[in-house]
Amino acid sequence: MTCRLSCSALALALLAVSSLGAQPTAFTWPTATPSTVGLNPAVLDSLDAEITAGKYGNIDRMLVIRRGRLVIDKRYPRDYDKIYGDSSRAASSLNNSHDPTGPFNYFNPWWHPTYRRGTLHTLQSVSKTVASAVIGVAVTRGEFPALDTPILTFWDTSTVANRDDRKRRITIRHLLTMTGGFDWNESVPYSDPRNTAGALEASPDWVKFTIDRPMMREPGTQFNYSSGESALLAHIFFRATGVDIEEYAARHLFAPLGITNWHWKRTTSGAIDTEGGLYLEATDLARIWQLWLQGGRWQGTTVVSERWVRESVTPHIPTSTRAGAPQYGYKWWLYNNPVQAGAFIWAGSGFGGQFPMAFPDQEMVVVFNAWNISGGPTLPLRAVQERLIRAAK
């Protein structure tokens, strides 16, 4: 009798586990010294020394992986109570006035830069890139609509303000490439009250705030950085799949990569914050960038199709008319390789200094976490990219 009960319980447990989708795959980054994977250690040592000396402000972590091996993982402890304590109590556009103790007070060390003072680091707008990756997984699995589907398909249009033919022509692809055409100004500092993202975060419903915005231009014609367009993806994903995007990521992206620990903020209306709410540990974030280097395969299994990987890091729109400005893919920043013409560095970019980068020609993944949010020195990204490339033999 005891055996039958225990066996039945085990069977039920296994059934429950299988119903959750893919289970986390055990994985630990293998380690190596820089020289054994063809990296000049002097370059990494010099960067480490400069960060330690405070040359680039509040850098929290530097992680370098080459040819699938972790070669450097440096942490730089910061006393954020001391650095931002006064700012956390003073009203500002970075200290959410209606909830100063909450997760949208960017000076509050209980929430930023790490979640509850732990090891999960805020990714800010790198969350946009991860949300795009989740969409790519759903496309690969045949569970997401065509990218040229008009986004108003997912709304009761009678509730949407400022409807015109331009808004009716916005597609999912336009949101992925930041070319939706909404009236949106995120070109000024986040501390500036003219920044539309501040009004977004102060609103009770981010999705409604964005979809109701008037139009500025024809969709698909010009890059205009808009966190609101990324916030819409949480709504669209649920309407299209019937599954919350965080749950889908947990089952079909995080679990296959062995990522078991994360936090993903929700907005005041309860929607997942797909524009900037994800927290991951740096070595877990690096797995997603390594997945892209490996063409969407992880430990012999296809997580996302090679076609999606290729399309997502193909330049779709220039981010600026400035010479040398990055191109933009499906929420991926594509920096021109400073050494090799025509080649790109595949990156995310998040407020405060979140920079995960894949160097495909060097088989290298680099992650920087930082929290430089109120002026002062920051990482000179272009110069650092060139140093890292030249360090790779």
In the chain, what percentage of residues exceed pLDDT 90? 87
The CA-atom distances, in angstroms, between 49 and each of 194, 283, 314 are: 38, 21, 35
Which strands sit side by side in the sheet containing 121-122, from one edge to the other? 121-122, 278-280, 263-264
Confidence (pTM): 0.93
> Residue range 268-293: average pLDDT?
97
Query: What pLDDT is attached to residue 21?
Result: 52
Q: Is residue 111 packed enough to be buried (19+ CB in 10 Å), middle (13-18) or exposed (0-12)?
A: buried
> Residue range 306-313: average pLDDT?
98
CA 206 to chain centre: 18
User: Does position 1 have pLDDT exceeding 70, yes or no?
Assistant: no
> Residue range 190-204: average pLDDT?
92
pLDDT band at 342 (very low <50, low <70, confident <90, very high): very high
> Residue range 330-347: average pLDDT?
96
Beta bridge partners of 335: 345
Q: Across all residues in the chain, what is the average pLDDT?
A: 93
User: Does position 262 have pLDDT exceeding 70, yes or no?
Assistant: yes
Alpha carbons 52 and 243: distance in angstroms, whole number: 43
E-only strand ranges, the chain: 59-66, 69-75, 121-122, 263-264, 278-280, 297-298, 301-302, 317-318, 327-328, 333-336, 344-347, 355-359, 364-370
> Residue range 149-174: average pLDDT?
98
Q: Identify the top-confidence range among 94-98, 279-283, 322-326.
A: 279-283
pLDDT band at 12 (very low <50, low <70, confident <90, very high): very low
Query: What pLDDT is attached to residue 22?
Result: 60
